[in-house]
Amino acid sequence: MVKYDIIKINNKNVRMVPKGITNMKFSQELDKVVARMKARIEREIPDTGYFRNFAEDFVNPDEKLCAKAVSLSVERDENIDGNALLLVSVLHPFMNIDASSMLVSGKRDKILEYMKKDGFKDEVVRKIHELADSFM
């Protein structure tokens, strides 16, 4: 069984991405959401004190994925001041339920550092598929 599709190969850059991201629109939408989230995290999460939860999402263009929409969101840690949780969520096609999973928790800089790591996008895609599968 082919588990991975090589979508971009050259001498310097070999990216193995999980099966399912062959949909280029999906990949582009995810990139945009990640970029918007990074900017908002930088801007909206303070060192300490209250901040509003926020999210960025896109309508799922991949028919093979059981999801109406996909979102990245930040929730204020209700138990530790200044901490936040970065979540990835998938909205069921009927929109009555979402499935979510935490990617990382901690201070603003820790979350941003995590999002800059190699393989972050692959991890998000893997989680998105896991979450969509959980609706089955």
Partner 1 sequence: MVSAGIIFKRFIQKPEVGLLVNYSKLLAGEKRLLCAGRVKDGIVPMDFFADLGTASIQISNDLEKHFPKAQSQIKTIFGNLKSVDKIQNRAKGPVSIEPKILRGVKSGEVNSFESAKAFVLDGIGSRVITKSLDKLDKKQIKGMIENLRINNEPLSKKQKVLLEKYIYQQKMTQAEEMEAFPLFEKFAQPLIEKRSKQVVDNLSLSIIKNRMIKEGLSIEQIKAQGLLSDDLIKRLQTEKIEPLEVTLINNYRGASGLPEFSSRQIQALRKVTGGKVIIHSRPDLADYTKFPSAGYTKDELKEFAIKPSGYRTAQMNVIHNDGTLGEIQFRGRYTNMIGEYEHIAYDLRQDKNTLGPIFNNFKSAILKLKPAEYEEYNKYLERCYNYYNRLELGLPAVKPKLPHKFDKILSEESMKKLYDANEVRLGKLKEGFKPHFEEVA
Binding positions for partner 1, rule: CB under 8 A: 50, 52-55, 57-59, 68-69, 71, 73, 75, 77-80, 83, 85, 89, 91, 94-106, 130-131, 134, 136
Are the beta carbons of 54 and 43 closer than 8 angstroms? no
Structural tokens at position 17: 């991405």
**Smallest distance, partner 1 to C-beta of residue 51, A:** 10
Residue nearer to partner 1 on the CB measure, 21 or 66 = 66
- In whole angstroms, the minimum distance from the beta carbon of 99 to partner 1 comes to 5
* Nearest-approach distance from CB 127 to partner 1, in angstroms: 9
Contact 72, 40 (CB under 8 A): no
How is residue 107 written in tokens?
């201070």
Is the Cβ of residue 9 or residue 43 nearer to partner 1 in the bound state?
A: 43
CB of 1 or CB of 14, closer to partner 1? 1
Rounded CA-CA distance 82/68 in Å is: 32
Q: How many CB atoms lie within 10 A of CB 34?
A: 16
CB closer to partner 1, 15 vs 103: 103
Residue 4, both tokens: 């991975």
